[in-house]
Amino acid sequence: MSLRYIFTGAKSLSFQVLAFPGGLFFGASGQEKADRLRNDLKSHLASSYENLEYVEQLDPKPYGTR
C-alpha cells in the first residue's frame, strides 16, 4: 500500500492511496484497505477543516503514469 501526498498550493493538498494487487502484506484485501484509508482521510480532513472542498478524478491513472 502506498500513500502519496503533495502540497499543491498554500491552501491545497493532493493525496493518493494505492494498493498493489497481490501485495506481500495485504494480498487480495489490499484494495479494500486502501479504499477504507482513503475514505477515512477524506472524513478526517472534512471534520478538521472548515469549508473544505474535495475533488476526485473521475478516471484516475495508475500510479506513475500520465
CA distance 15 to 54: 11
The whole-chain average pLDDT of the chain stands at: 77
Q: Which residues lie below 8 Å from residue 38, measured CB to CB, with a gap of 6+?
A: 17
Q: pLDDT grade, residue 26 (50/70/90)?
A: low
In a domain, residue 64? The reply is: no
In a domain, residue 55? The reply is: no
Asked if the model's pLDDT at residue 2 lies above 60, the reply is yes
pLDDT at 40: 92
Domain range for 15: 2-48
Which amino acid appears at position 54 of this protein? Y
In a domain, residue 33? The reply is: yes
Cβ-based burial of 20 (10 A; exposed 0-12, middle 13-18, buried ≥19): middle
In a domain, residue 40? The reply is: yes
CA distance 29 to 56: 23
pLDDT at 53: 78
Q: What's the whole-number mean pLDDT along residues 40-64?
A: 76
The structural domain count of the chain equals 1
pTM of this prediction?
A: 0.63
